[in-house]
Amino acid sequence: MATLRKVLATIGRYRPLLAASVLLAGLTVVLQLYVPILFGDAIDQVVAAGQVDFGSMGRVLALALGLVAASSVASWAMGVINNRLAFHTVRDIRAQAIRQIQALPLSYLDAHSAGDVVQRVIADVDQLSDGLLLGFTQLFSGVVTIAVTLAFMLSKDVGITLMVLALTPVSFLVARFIAARSFDLFSRQTDTRGRQTALVGELVGNQKVVRAFGHGPEASRQFHELNEELRTYAQGAVFFSSLTNPSTRAVNNVIYALVALVGAHRILAGQLSVGGLTVMLSYANQYMKPFNDISSVITELQNALACAARVFELIEATPEPADAAAELVCSHGEVRIEDVSFSYDKSRPLIEGFDFHAAAGTKTAIVGPTGCGKTTFINLLMRFYDTDAGTILVDGQDIRDVSRASLRRSFGMVLQETWLKHATVRDNIAFGMPDATDDQIITAAREAHSWEFIRRMPQGLDTVITDDSLSQGQRQLLCITRVMLGLPPMLILDEATSSIDTRTELQIQAAFDKLMQGRTSFVVAHRLSTIREADQILVMRDGHIVEQGTHDQLLAAGGFYAELYQAQFASTEA
């Protein structure tokens, strides 16, 4: 019910369409339900053998035909409106979900697989759309049908109407008993489908690794387990929900038979005509039809609500803390970190009492073993995560007191993991500067040494990038070009040249040296040869700075940095 209320709240934005649908549903039902009265009148024109008023019967039947035609037109219009209402609603829900993803903290996205999030936004919303289309049609028509039918039945025979009303709760109890058991199964089915989508995305996106390590049989086993789990839940959900329709039909058939039996006695007692009984039987069938219709689509409705619950869970997840309105004014690029502490898991401290100062225009290298906190340092600097304690200042401004957008615009960032969207080379390079001219893009590409392979591509800058059209090194060069184009006041390079050959790396390093002149830059590196010229090197271990100084100073100290350096270069020098 909580999920249903949320869906109805979204639908409520389209009150004119909702009102039109309800009015058309009422008109359709009234026209349809008046037809049995006309048929009853036509039957009563047959008085006895040879005593039939064909003239009156013809007029009544012509009117009935007109009402059926008008009802069909109203029903068609209601269907068009219901389609528009459903599609507008799911469009809004999907738009909410996408906006929420942009506002969610990275901690949420790190804790949920990409496949599961995609499943919620795409497939789950599609299921909701299908359920809404069926639900609108059956709900609006059904409610009006029940109300109008009861009114017509009361006008014909109060006793039979009260008997039908007294037996109605039996159908509700049967449907409720079954639905309560099927909804839980539908929820588990939807959750399992999300995990299955995530697994398939991982296996397809990393098929080379899967094959290289012979992981195929294990991957098939994992998929088979999830597939079997999904089959169990889906089969159970469909089985229980499918019991609703035959169960309610059985109850309704008993009610129909009782109406016929009681009506026959009333005819014999002279209290009801044959045409009147025909009308009552038709109305009894019409009255019970909405219950049968709704129960026949209970599978879709239950599945739609289970999917909606997952979508609303995403929409209602706690977003990032409210952003500050002030803009970061980065005139120099001085960075100061004071007594910062942070951990992803609060029970396992990672960074504690972190202090650091980078003067404006200096190059700072960050080195250390895997898991020491290098990338975490970058995450905190960019406010992908907020510190648990302490302060980070850029040109004297606390980064929590300025907007995230203005902070991130002040940094150019190249990561080890490249990301390019399915678009042209031009669109990918101008990702952060959509108004950049071709001359600006080409200049940036020349400086990043990517223009040579770009101009050899089939359509040059207009070539659409696919997963297999570029090597990993070329992809990384395009990411570097993207930063070259923006010329931000500060730079972050996180293993930016890890996938590039040595010759190209030297060219890129020269380009970076030119780009970093006068700019504050942070370089995360495992290959220590790339950071010898840094103004200062931070050596991190277990979330702490254990050494700090220039390359020569740290080698002379003979500490942890010297050990790392010797481990990489001792054999080469020998």
Structure tokens at 509: 């390093």
Angle at 321 between CA 320 and CA 323, to 5 degrees: 100
Of 137-141, 279-283, 418-422, the range with the lowest mean pLDDT is 137-141
Q: What is the mean pLDDT of residues 130-144?
A: 70
- Using alpha carbons only, how large is the chain's radius of gyration in Å? 35
State CA 453 to chain mean position distance: 37
Question: So what's the pLDDT on residue 48?
Answer: 56
| Interval 410-438: pLDDT, tens | 888 887 777 888 889 999 898 888 888 99
The residue ranges of DSSP E strands in 134-256, in sequence order, are none
Per-residue pLDDT band for 569 (boundaries 50, 70, 90) equals low
Question: So what's the pLDDT on residue 529?
Answer: 65
State how far the Cα of 555 lies from the Cα of 209, in Å rounded to an integer. Answer: 38
State percent of the chain over pLDDT 90.
4
Class level of CATH domain 90-315:
mainly alpha
Q: Residue 487: which of 452, 519, 439 has the closest Cα?
A: 519
Per-residue pLDDT band for 75 (boundaries 50, 70, 90) equals confident
Residue with the bigger pLDDT between 65 and 571: it is 65
Most confident range (mean pLDDT) of 119-123, 247-251, 282-286, 386-390 is 386-390
Question: So what's the pLDDT on residue 439?
Answer: 92
Per-residue pLDDT band for 571 (boundaries 50, 70, 90) equals very low
Of 179-193, 241-255, 286-300, 344-358, the range with the lowest mean pLDDT is 286-300
Run of H or E residues at 83: helix 54-103
Residues of the chain with CATH 1.20.1560.10: 90-315
Structure tokens at 249: 């039909």
Structure letter (DSSP) for residue 460: G
Rounded-to-5 percentages of helix, strand, coil across the chain: 65, 10, 20
Q: What is the pTM of this model?
A: 0.64
Give a three-class secondary structure readout of 323-357: CCCCCCCCCCCCEEEEEEEECCCCCCCCEEEEEEE
Per-residue pLDDT band for 504 (boundaries 50, 70, 90) equals low
| Interval 446-461: pLDDT, tens | 888 888 889 888 888 9
Tokens 């469009």 map to which residue? 91
Residue with the bigger pLDDT between 304 and 429: it is 429
Q: What is the mean pLDDT of residues 378-395?
A: 89
State how far the Cα of 497 lies from the Cα of 479, in Å rounded to an integer. Answer: 11
Per-residue pLDDT band for 500 (boundaries 50, 70, 90) equals low
Structure tokens at 93: 């829900």
Question: So what's the pLDDT on residue 548?
Answer: 87
Is the pLDDT score of 140 beyond 70?
Answer: no
Of 120-124, 243-247, 406-410, the range with the lowest mean pLDDT is 243-247
Please state, rounded to an integer, the average pLDDT across all residues of the chain. Answer: 81
Class level of CATH domain 331-410+526-574:
alpha beta
Crossing angle of the two packed helices 216-242 and 298-315, in degrees rounded to 10: 120
Q: Are 137 and 257 in contact (CB under 8 A)?
A: no
Question: So what's the pLDDT on residue 84?
Answer: 86
Strands of 363-367's sheet in order across: 411-414, 490-494, 520-524, 363-367, 536-541, 544-549
Question: So what's the pLDDT on residue 426?
Answer: 92
State how far the Cα of 338 lies from the Cα of 394, in Å rounded to an integer. Answer: 12
Is the pLDDT score of 135 beyond 50?
Answer: yes
The residues facing 412 across adjacent strands are 491
Non-local (6+) Cβ contacts of 106 within 8 A are 379, 384, 385
Give a three-class secondary structure readout of 237-251: HHHHHHCHHHHHHHH
Q: Residue 146: which of 165, 133, 163 has the closest Cα?
A: 165
Structure tokens at 73: 């037109």
Q: Are 63 and 38 in contact (CB under 8 A)?
A: yes
Q: What is the mean pLDDT of residues 89-107?
A: 86
State how far the Cα of 79 lies from the Cα of 194, in Å rounded to an integer. Answer: 31
Tokens 């010759």 map to which residue? 503
Residues of the chain with CATH 3.40.50.300: 331-410+526-574
| Interval 446-499: pLDDT, tens | 888 888 889 888 888 999 987 677 887 788 888 888 888 887 888 888 876 665
Question: So what's the pLDDT on residue 298?
Answer: 64
Most confident range (mean pLDDT) of 118-127, 256-265, 283-292, 550-559 is 550-559
